[in-house]
Amino acid sequence: MSEKQNNSPLVEVRNLKKYFDINTGMFKTRPLKAVDDVSFTINRGETLGLVGESGCGKTTVGRTLLHLYTPTSGDIVYDGHEIKTKADINEFRKKATMVFQDPYSSLNPRMTVSDIIAEPLDIHKMYQNEEERRARVLELMEHVGLNSEHASRYAHEFSGGQRQRIGIARSLAVDPEFIVCDEPVSALDVSIQAQVINMFGELQEKLGLTYLFIAHDLLVVRHISNRIAVMYLGKMVELTDAAEIYERPLHPYSKALMSAVPMPDPKIARENQRIPLSGDIPSPLNAPSGCPFRTRCAHACERCAEEMPEFREIEKGHFVACHRVEELN
């Protein structure tokens, strides 16, 4: 967690929507609302954690933010400049990169480690000669704890943790300011996860990076994040400081998520009341009217079925989307 963060937003996302047209037969399509009206900011030097169950739209937020998916609507502002045109996107991609979830499928098996890491340098023509290219590759490998003799080997010769380090080195190649980390440790052994998480923290300190850290493991997110946002069915339901959301979640869904986090202290674990969630997550194709969480919420009322609650600031820096938040807390 970086101490160098300040309060100037580096990334602003306003009313972001990403709908996918799904074919329902007989030339008919329906929109799958993967991300539906999501807004947040990430301050320079900060890590914003993004959590939620599988299929809630976390990864789509990250990919749409980087324009890997074209937004259906909404604004993405980076360092005060709105990202709109193709030229904007090309410039943006020199400053913002991504670490992918699966280190097995995100690396080309036909390329050497050196060529994988240098690929962004090749695309953006960021070196004068081969010597400069090689020097930069070796510098990046050193950043992520890989030996220089690994440069001429292929990805399949490495363990999962080492492959993810290769992916991280590639994401650092263009000297970015902002990195979207899409579940970067979920495919790794638990023993390796801590090493990679600590490396993200060290790189942030050393290079002044800003992260959007997407994960479903709440303990991992807590360890690295300054603030945490909770998503459910394409909507953002809560956003506040990392410590605050663990100690005092306000949204019924956040409370259920936090109650499921395993506690290392048996005494605290016994006192911790688990809040079970009834039913399954609805399909984004058939999302409930009004509040998307109402079909699984013990506190849902008529108003919850009629209108979507506004994502509003309940206390300073603590945003919640719930009609009954004041009376329930």
Q: Which residues contact 87 (CB under 8 A, 6 or more apart)?
A: none
Q: Which of 235, 208, 230, 215 is nearest to 10 (CA)?
A: 208
Say how far apart CA 117 and CA 50 lie, in whole Å: 27
Domain residue spans of the chain: 9-105+176-328
Residues 289, 280 contacting (CB under 8 angstroms) = no
This prediction's pTM: 0.91
Q: Which residues contact 192 (CB under 8 A, 6 or more apart)?
A: 159, 160, 161, 185
Say how far apart CA 208 and CA 20 lie, in whole Å: 35
**Opening angle at CA 125, ends 42 and 76, nearest 5:** 25
Say how far apart CA 193 and CA 262 lie, in whole Å: 17
Say how far apart CA 326 and CA 307 lie, in whole Å: 17
Q: Which CATH class is domain 9-105+176-328?
A: alpha beta
| Local confidence pLDDT in tens for the 329 residues of the chain | 444 455 679 999 999 999 999 888 888 888 899 999 999 999 999 999 999 888 889 999 999 999 999 999 999 999 999 999 999 999 999 999 999 888 778 888 899 999 999 999 999 888 899 999 999 999 999 999 999 999 999 988 998 899 999 999 999 999 999 999 999 988 888 888 889 999 999 999 999 999 999 998 888 898 899 999 999 999 999 999 999 998 899 999 999 888 877 666 666 656 667 777 777 788 888 888 999 999 999 898 999 999 999 999 999 999 999 999 998 88
How high is the pLDDT of residue 3?
44
